Amino acid sequence: MSTATQSERVALTGNEAAATAMRQINPDVVAAYPITPQTEIVQMFSNFVADGDVHTEFVRVESEHSAMSAVIASAASGARSMTATSANGLALMWEMLYIAASYRMPIVMPVVNRALSGPINIHCDHSDSMGARDSGWIQLYSENAQEAYDNIIQAVRIGEHPDVRLPVMVCQDGFIISHAMDNLYVLPDEDVQAFIGEGGGQEHSLLDVDNPATFGPLDLQNWYFEHKRQQVEGMKNAHRVIPEVAREFADVSGRSYDFFEEYRTEDADVVVVVLGSTAGTAKDVVDAMRADGHKVGLVKIRVFRPLPADKLVESLLSRSAVAIMDRSDTFSSAGGPVYHAVRHALYDVDERPPVSNYIYGLGGRDIRPSQIRRVFEETLEVARTGQRSRSISYLGVRE
Amino acid sequence: MEDILEVRWHGRGGQGAKTAANLLAEAASAAGQYIQAFPEYGPERMGAPVASFNRISSRVIRIRSAVEEPDVVVVLDASLVHSVDITDGLPDDGAIIVNTDKEPHEMREELSLEGRQVFTVDANSIAMDTIGRPIPNTPMLGAVVRATDILDYESFLSIMKQELEKKFGSRPEIVEGNIQAIERAYEEVRSE
Amino acid sequence: MSPDNKEYGRSGRTPEPDATWREVPIGGVLPWGGNAAEYETGDWRSMRPVYDPEVCIQCRLCWVYCPDSAVEVNEDGEVTGINYYHCKGCGICSAECPRDGAMEMEPEKAEE
């Protein structure tokens, strides 16, 4: 971070950091509806609009379904478009999420992760965004306010890249990040503007009356499959574009990003895979266990869609054992979504390590260093015994 | 993690426990420290017991778990002493700072507390005298700085003045009242 | 069914029916206006309107009401006939026509 001399160190909550990024992006259109714990983002952004700090057309819609519909339309007109949501708001957007992705609209949406009802709960888990993992959106996960801020700015460039043209969700943990004041470095407004560029990135515009185009026509057996295959190609291209954007961002900010972060994994026998704020706590646990002589490390996934499957295999294949921590469940009775993804990626490797799954933190249940330590200790035991089984544990639930 | 100072604030909805934690964090951050400030979220009700938290360290803070063993507990409303377990998790070398007109030994008896340091300060009276309203959170910040040595007092005062001017720039009497409240609480806090 | 009017039909702008995913426009966009004209809806007809200029009084109600713009007019705005490439045979023109015999619906003939 020392190279980021032009950055200002501030103390902001995750929501304030997200709203600041949105102000600096200065999108053409924001259509949003408030929902805890995302509300503050929209509230603060509407202040920026009222104060004339941004030129954004702010659309006060009557639901999240309308919010997503509105930004799909504005993106189709070539306007840089954003919204933000959480939990049930994201769920209400569901059918429009798929339409945004399949129309290839580069919408950027901060998602403040919150447990999906029911029973009704306002606190953090990943059931909302994980449920949308197959909607065709790029998904970035953030450990803290800094990463939420940095990811939102990079998301604009990733989504608008002509070879990608996909919407991007930037996830941060509800309350744990969104409502916690944290230190971060904020770029000068002009640096953000220079980094994101003119943008828009749409080849055709709904508002170009001289070159009229039809968006969203009926697409039956003879074409639908071709368009879905194109969509996959956009995701594939994102594998190339995400690191390109990260390199440019590092030049501006001094902060480096990749598909995932490897923390003290060089010689690690045991690696735990996690995403979101829990990675911060887990890093402290890694340090404590390293001090005790255990060869343990952490992989923190930043990009879950597209899934960096090959790179994860490269990072994990030489380990003696791996544990995946999931903050949501698939209710398949066969493990959580991150576990499925990572375990699947490892299948083609002959010498693959045993992979176990810990589902934790549902509905905002606190995750303590002692619990993460238990995950490492049990995984070290798996490494010692070489025991291989489909092990799915619920960490922190009263048994 | 041992090199992080953890603070738990107890108050009632509307008394400014969240704001106090944020102000302490902003002051510590401006002084070059790494910080966290976060409230305990439940249903928002005026008057209901609420809590908020700080972590302050000279190193980057990564932990995101709840604060379970705070080094310092600050109680903005003495009536909470009997309805909330305010000493929960407070270690033997911890400190508790209560807004009350009682002496520290009286508060110690009331809490049946052994060990730990007990501080008291009459922040309500100070707030009435200086700000004109019974808002105990800013004077309590002065008491916290006195009790913990987490920040240099003079630089804390100048940072607080800047922060308050940002928020109440158009009303210098509010800035001045709050600064006086902090100064008086810093002087008047008692301990045993 | 062969189009009755040769000026309509494939314009060459739309991808060939066997185009690959690399060749079709991104996101299902149709980057041309007026492409509905290329869509043959004339083969939906079971009844066809038959226009008789001798009986027609040029009130143009058929042109106003036709939901597919399939009633053809000349430069002076006079009705000249039916575009059977687009006419779906809904019969609205015939129902609205004030003159018996100017726009009569007849069963669609078998393929010629």
Domain boundaries, chain C: 42-107
CA distance B106 to chain A (A): 35
Chains B and A touch (3+ CB pairs under 8 A): yes
**What's the first-to-final CA gap in chain A, in angstroms?**
44
Q: Quick one: pLDDT at residue C6?
A: 45
Per CB-CB distance under 8 Å, the chain A contacts of C34 are 212
Determine the residue of chain C that is closest to A231 in CA distance: C27
Q: Quick one: pLDDT at residue A328?
A: 98
Restricting to B residues 1-30, those with a Cβ less than 8 Å away from any Cβ of A are 1, 21-22, 25-26, 29-30
CB count in 10 Å sphere of residue B133: 11
Chains B and C touch (3+ CB pairs under 8 A): no
Q: Quick one: pLDDT at residue A296?
A: 98
Handedness of CA A22, A23, A25, A28 (dihedral sign): positive
Residues C47-67 pLDDT 10s: 999 999 999 999 999 999 999
CA distance C17 to chain A (A): 8
pLDDT surpassing 80 at residue B24: yes
Q: Quick one: pLDDT at residue B44?
A: 66
CB contact under 8 Å between A281 and B64, yes or no, is yes
Helix (H, G, I), strand (E, B) or coil at B121: strand
Helix (H, G, I), strand (E, B) or coil at A255: coil
Looking at the complex, does the CB of residue C64 fall below 8 Å from at least one CB of chain A?
Answer: no
Q: Quick one: pLDDT at residue A1?
A: 39
Would you say domain A261-395 falls under CATH 3.40.50.920? yes
Q: Quick one: pLDDT at residue A2?
A: 40
Looking at the complex, does the CB of residue A49 fall below 8 Å from at least one CB of chain B?
Answer: no
Looking at the complex, does the CB of residue A281 fall below 8 Å from at least one CB of chain B?
Answer: yes
User: CB pairs below 8 Å between A and C: how many?
Assistant: 55
CB contact under 8 Å between A176 and B64, yes or no, is yes
Q: Quick one: pLDDT at residue C39?
A: 83
Percent of chain B predicted with pLDDT > 70: 98
Q: Quick one: pLDDT at residue C2?
A: 37
In this complex, which chains have at least 3 CB pairs below 8 Å with chain A?
Answer: B, C
What residue segments make up the domains of chain B, in order of their start? 4-191
Residues of chain A with pLDDT under 70: 1-6, 200-201
CB contact under 8 Å between A284 and B37, yes or no, is no
User: CB pairs below 8 Å between A and B: how many?
Assistant: 62
Q: Quick one: pLDDT at residue A289?
A: 98
Per CB-CB distance under 8 Å, the chain A contacts of C35 are 214
Q: Quick one: pLDDT at residue A4?
A: 44
CA distance A79 to chain C (A): 17
Q: SS3 helix, strand, coil % of chain C, rounded to 5?
A: 20, 15, 65
**Confidence category of residue C12, pLDDT binned at 50, 70, 90:** low
Distance CA A162, CA B48 (A): 53
**Hey, which residues does A192 pair with through a beta bridge?**
none
Restricting to A residues 218-237, those with a Cβ less than 8 Å away from any Cβ of C are 219, 222-223, 225-227, 229-230, 233
Per CB-CB distance under 8 Å, the chain C contacts of A101 are none
Topology (CATH) of C42-107: Alpha-Beta Plaits (3.30.70)
Determine the residue of chain C that is closest to A214 in CA distance: C30
Distance CA B135, CA B12 (A): 11
CA distance A222 to chain C (A): 8
Q: Quick one: pLDDT at residue A374?
A: 97
Helix (H, G, I), strand (E, B) or coil at B118: strand
Looking at the complex, does the CB of residue A11 fall below 8 Å from at least one CB of chain B?
Answer: yes
Answer CATH for B4-191 from 3.40.920.10, 3.40.1350.10, 3.40.30.10, 3.40.50.300: 3.40.920.10
Q: Quick one: pLDDT at residue B51?
A: 94
Per CB-CB distance under 8 Å, the chain C contacts of A225 are 21
CA distance B182 to chain A (A): 22
Residues A376 and A289: beta-carbon distance below 8 Å: yes
Looking at the complex, does the CB of residue A134 fall below 8 Å from at least one CB of chain C?
Answer: no
Q: Quick one: pLDDT at residue A297?
A: 98
Q: Which class in CATH covers the domain with range A8-253? A: alpha beta
Looking at the complex, does the CB of residue A277 fall below 8 Å from at least one CB of chain B?
Answer: yes
Residues A128-142 pLDDT 10s: 999 999 999 999 999
CB contact under 8 Å between A230 and C26, yes or no, is yes
Q: Quick one: pLDDT at residue C38?
A: 82
Residues C32 and C5: beta-carbon distance below 8 Å: no
Per CB-CB distance under 8 Å, the chain C contacts of A226 are 19-21, 24
CB contact under 8 Å between A102 and C29, yes or no, is no
Strand (E) or helix (H) holding A263: strand A260-263
pLDDT surpassing 60 at residue C5: no
Looking at the complex, does the CB of residue B43 fall below 8 Å from at least one CB of chain A?
Answer: no
pLDDT surpassing 50 at residue C4: no
Residues B50 and B75: beta-carbon distance below 8 Å: no
Side by side, the strands of the sheet bearing A296-301 are: A260-263, A296-301, A270-274, A321-326, A355-360, A392-395
**Confidence category of residue C10, pLDDT binned at 50, 70, 90:** low
Restricting to B residues 50-109, those with a Cβ less than 8 Å away from any Cβ of A are 60-66, 68
What residue segments make up the domains of chain A, in order of their start? 8-253, 261-395
Reading the block at residue A70, the tokens are 């509105």
Q: Quick one: pLDDT at residue A203?
A: 80
